[in-house]
Chains A and B, each alone.
Chain A
Amino acid sequence: MATVSKAAGVDPRTRYQSPPSRRRRRRGRGGRSPLSALSPRVWLPTVIAVALVGAAWSWVASGNPYILPELGEVGRTLVSDPTLFVENAWSTLQIALLGVAWGAGTAFVLALLMSEIPVLRRAVMPLAVVLNVTPVVALAPALVVAFGFGMTPKVVVTAIVTFFPVLINVTTGLRSVSGPVLHVFRTLHASRMEVLLKLRLPTSLPYALAALRVVLPLSIVGAVVAEFVAAGSSSGLGTMIRNAAANAQLPHVYAAVACLATMGVLMLALTTLLERRLLFWHESQQRNPS
């Protein structure tokens, strides 16, 4: 067996530059320490901003109770009948999640098909754009006529709202495979299915999760708008807000809004968790040296 002599008597293995030492210390898969959230540099600015907004709110509410209710009153409304808020929040959440499942799911499958069948992309994309620019609120009454007064028209509205961002992002992600990697796959004579499963899908994951970051909170907006405009709604935070506003019950309105905001934050947190778990390899999850 032939061996390779080493130029100038130096073992090449000893001559590599080592990767930066900070890279050696992996801080979990996300590359960030979970304890970093405890640092005042992380939480203090948020706490100060919330305190300032709270103070401004209280100042406005103390002189103008018909513009903003007292925060304490909003809190008491929430505590006085938590079941009411939980049940209505659950109703809205169901619509939002079902809407995301249908909207994002359909968009994902369609994006997969479009990445493999160019003629389908040319056929569907203009229709998707038209659907995206159409005000969904205007469609809601027609959807009620079509699907009745139950949950279906609200889920459809939410699905339409969430459909387009997922379609666009996943389509872009599936097509953003780097040329050299594709060349490696082609010289290995990988099948289209292998390229799709082993290359295009993982490449599109950051794009899909970025879309999810947009559409999960958007699904709540979609669900609430659907509850506003769909006649015959009897549950959900959107319905609750509409009825409370009609009766000038501002604490109830803002308590419901607080519930919606909390749901939105929790959905964002869930997306962030998913991103850290699934995209530990992606540059968006690497530690920023600055």
Chain B
Amino acid sequence: MSRERIEVRGLTKTYEGGDPHRPTLDRIDLDVPRGHFVSLIGPSGCGKSTLIRVVAGLEDYDEGSVRIFDSTPRQMCAAKAVGFVPQSPALLPWLNVRRNITLPARVNRRSGKGSENPDALLRMVGLDDAARKYPHELSGGMRQRVAIARAFGTRPDLLLMDEPFSALDEFTREALQWHLLGLWERMSTTVLFVTHSVREAVTLSDEIVVMSARPGRVHEVIPVDLRRPRGDEVTGPRGRALEDRVRASLRGAWESGAAPDDLIPL
């Protein structure tokens, strides 16, 4: 057990009614050091989102163990130490941007966890002039920025992001990646990030976990040894070489079970 890493050991999960011989997650072993940015990538049905939800304590599992900095997912949530950004921004439409961002501070007060200054968070995501706007008055990219700022609102030890940029156009998605990196480098949060985009994974991550489907397994863990803060190197020869390596690994993962119908061509 370690207070400095997330440890997933032998994690196995089969959904009710699913084939017990082909579990959604099959003996997953994963180590994520504190402060690392780790992306999960793989074909549809490989269990990326399920893994995120199990780590978030949102779903139970059949076998194995999940320890987050030597705590259970439930203990982490009770301490408001987990931030969650789903695919859709999941904002409360009746609250303005500022009230949405301060929502984590207004629930589960018994955790005693403080919160970030909402104005500073708004500035960091470039929305300081939109504090009083409502979600329906924002573009998709702005809504997702609010969701990210909300997730950082309690300065969580662990941030779980489930394809947060998948519904956005590439232009907005790229800009949001830089905003996310800015917040992450400032907050030193550990991030587990689900994506279907190879370039996004290379741009953001310290490590990329390639998963294979049916059953969902960790196929390969690829370290991303690009300098931080990330810059032109991502789009340079070293970045492209890493992308090629991830794609080659994904091909291997597909051959072990799934079709690549969900990958974004880059």
Q: Which residues of A contact B (CB under 8 A)?
A: 1-8, 12-13, 15-19, 23-24, 26, 178, 180-181, 183-191, 194, 198-199, 202, 205, 280-283, 286
Contacts and interface: CB of A to CB of B under 8 A. Distances in A.
A14 to B, nearest CB: 9
Contact of B174 (A7, A186, A190): A7
Contacts of B182: 3-4
Nearest to A278: B94
Interface residues of B, number: 55
Nearest to A14: B175
A187 B77 contact: yes
Contacts of B142: 16, 19
Closest 4 CB pairs of A and B: A12-B175, A180-B86, A5-B231, A180-B90
26 contacts: A2-B228, A4-B182, A7-B174, A7-B178, A7-B232, A7-B235, A12-B174, A15-B171, A16-B139, A18-B139, A19-B139, A180-B90, A184-B86, A184-B90, A186-B56, A187-B57, A187-B82, A189-B107, A189-B111, A190-B108, A194-B107, A194-B108, A198-B103, A198-B106, A281-B94, A286-B136
A188 B93 contact: no
A88 to B, nearest CB: 41
A230 to B, nearest CB: 42
A21 B165 CA distance: 23
Contacts, number: 128
B42 interface: no
A180 B92 CA distance: 11
A186 B141 contact: no
B152 to A, nearest CB: 13
Nearest to B156: A187
Interface of B: 53, 56-58, 77-80, 82-84, 86-88, 90, 92-94, 103-104, 106-108, 111, 126, 134-139, 141-142, 150, 154, 160, 169, 171-172, 174-176, 178-179, 181-182, 185-186, 228-232, 234-235
A2 B108 contact: no
B230 A4 contact: yes
A107 B8 CA distance: 47
Contacts of B232: 5, 7-8
